[in-house]
């Protein structure tokens, strides 16, 4: 399994770059989800592997199982999405992240995770150095590595299709280096990572940098990170991006993102308590198999939510949860996420560096979920595998 996880690191880290040359990489997350399920079923036949999970991690499985039943019930009751393909694909999409987390824990239980961490961290140092060099060149010269201009400077994306994918990959590489940090020279790579994140000029990158310093201080002075500290961090994040939030909210339902938040809440109320069902709202699939919901709530003419151009439907995540699965589904989903937080806390409580890296990744997932479908995105679901497998020893 060491070789398997070692190879997966690059595949998922640079999937967005590889897909240009090899289109088959578009479906790598679906293929890996199925493979992980098969391997885990085989592994659980071994009595040793059955001890690979804490009770809280078994609860994650149960929370998500009931969550999926809620989605199935609302789909059958309201019959909003006529395309069965959309329903099946959407159901598969939302189970990917718990599969990546739980299956990775099971399959890596007997693995030398310290050796795996050292291996991926060493390669990450090289990647960060290369990406940093090009980020500096990009400031002064047009080299085709920018997406747009922000604050008078080019928004850096390296070889990725968009800056947001660079941000996710940088967060992963920075965190594995934090977990593996043994020398003072590693501080150079962390500083380079922060500079690269700044040069993307994405709000999520700025909030993540704040999270890094905030959580580092929490561990230094309070010796541990509690869930309430994450909420405090969220308040600081809102303050940093307040101007942007107010600007977006002022558009109401004539702009895609606020429209999704507002209509998602109306959808949850109108289809109380289970929501509208799979494939109906706030996902790329709901645009590809155009959901009747957008016509029902008069947002089918909003730019980015139309039949011809639905690119902005996945520009957020939480409306997808409370809109499609209702308030009951929302509570179950939040319970699963809190359980993952507790799982991380139990597995890394002996090592501050590993704990910091894991909580930073957890924080980034929450930060990014306000502006993208991170829980179903390729890089996002891989972050759950990183928290389970790539941050050093965490077996029971």
What average pLDDT does the segment 242-262 reach? Answer: 73
396 occurs within a structural domain: no
What average pLDDT does the segment 365-393 reach? Answer: 94
Tell me, yes or no, whether 121 and 221 share the same domain.
Answer: yes
282 occurs within a structural domain: no
Nearest-Å Rg of the Cα atoms of the chain is: 21
Largest CA distance in the chain: 59
Across the chain, what does the average pLDDT equal? 91
CA–CA distance, 200 with 364 (Å, rounded to integer): 15
284 occurs within a structural domain: no
Last residue of a domain, one of 221, 246, 271: 246
How many domains, the chain? 2
Tell me, yes or no, whether 110 and 131 share the same domain.
Answer: no
Tell me, yes or no, whether 122 and 200 share the same domain.
Answer: yes
Tell me, yes or no, whether 107 and 120 share the same domain.
Answer: no
224 occurs within a structural domain: yes
Domain membership of residue 40 as a residue range: 2-114+317-389
Q: For residue 181, what pLDDT is reported? A: 81
What average pLDDT does the segment 271-289 reach? Answer: 95
Tell me, yes or no, whether 92 and 131 share the same domain.
Answer: no
Q: Which of 41-45, 58-62, 234-238, 370-374 shows the lowest per-residue confidence on average (mean pLDDT)?
A: 234-238
Tell me, yes or no, whether 138 and 237 share the same domain.
Answer: yes
258 occurs within a structural domain: no
Tell me, yes or no, whether 55 and 139 share the same domain.
Answer: no
Helix axes 227-240, 318-347, angle to 10 degrees: 130
Q: For residue 43, what pLDDT is reported? A: 86
Tell me, yes or no, whether 221 and 178 share the same domain.
Answer: yes
Question: What digits encode the pLDDT tens for the residues 104-125?
Answer: 999 998 899 999 999 999 999 9
292 occurs within a structural domain: no
Q: In which region does residue 252 sit, left (phi positive, over 0), alpha (psi from -120 to 50) or beta (all else)?
A: left
Last residue of a domain, one of 224, 246, 268: 246
Q: For residue 240, what pLDDT is reported? A: 64
What average pLDDT does the segment 191-202 reach? Answer: 97
CA–CA distance, 377 with 267 (Å, rounded to integer): 23
Length of the chain, please? Answer: 396
261 occurs within a structural domain: no
- The pTM assigned to this predicted structure is 0.93
41 occurs within a structural domain: yes
Ramachandran angles phi, psi of 379, nearest 5°: -65, -40
């Amino acid at each position: 399994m060491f070789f398997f996880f070692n190879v997966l690191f690059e595949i998922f880290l640079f999937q967005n770059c590889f897909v240009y040359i090899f289109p088959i990489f578009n479906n790598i997350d679906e293929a890996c989800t199925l493979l992980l399920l098969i391997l885990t079923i085989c592994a659980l036949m071994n009595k040793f592997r059955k001890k690979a999970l804490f009770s809280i991690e078994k609860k994650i499985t149960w929370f998500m199982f009931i969550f999926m039943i809620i989605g199935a019930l609302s789909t059958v009751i309201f019959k909003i999405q006529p395309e069965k393909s959309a329903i099946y694909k959407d159901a598969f999409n939302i189970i990917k992240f718990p599969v990546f987390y739980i299956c990775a824990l099971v399959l890596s239980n007997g693995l030398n995770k310290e050796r795996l961490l050292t291996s991926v961290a060493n390669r990450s140092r090289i990647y960060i150095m290369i990406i940093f060099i090009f980020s500096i060149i990009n400031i002064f010269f047009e080299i085709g590595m920018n997406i747009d201009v922000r604050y008078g400077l080019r928004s850096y994306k390296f070889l990725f299709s968009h800056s947001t994918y660079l941000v996710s990959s940088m967060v992963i590489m920075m965190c594995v280096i934090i977990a593996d940090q043994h020398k003072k020279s590693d501080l150079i790579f962390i500083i380079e990572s922060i500079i690269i994140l700044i040069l993307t000029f994405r709000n999520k990158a700025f909030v993540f940098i704040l999270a890094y310093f905030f959580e580092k201080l929490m561990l230094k002075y309070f010796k541990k990170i509690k869930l309430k500290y994450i909420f405090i961090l969220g308040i600081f994040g809102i303050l940093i991006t307040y101007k942007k939030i107010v600007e977006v909210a002022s558009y109401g339902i004539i702009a895609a993102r606020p429209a999704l938040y507002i209509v998602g809440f109306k959808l949850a109320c109108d289809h109380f308590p289970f929501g509208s069902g799979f494939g109906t709202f706030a996902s790329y699939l709901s645009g590809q198999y155009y959901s009747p919901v957008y016509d029902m709530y008069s947002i089918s003419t909003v730019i980015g939510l139309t039949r011809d151009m639905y690119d902005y439907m996945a520009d957020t995540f939480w409306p997808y949860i409370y809109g499609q699965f209702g308030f009951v589904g929302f509570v179950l989903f939040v319970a699963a996420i809190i359980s993952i937080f507790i799982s991380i806390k139990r597995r890394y409580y002996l090592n501050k560096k590993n704990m910091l890296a894991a909580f930073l990744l957890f924080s980034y997932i929450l930060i990014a979920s306000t502006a993208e479908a991170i829980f179903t995105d390729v890089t996002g679901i891989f972050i759950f595998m990183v928290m389970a497998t790539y941050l050093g020893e965490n077996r029971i």
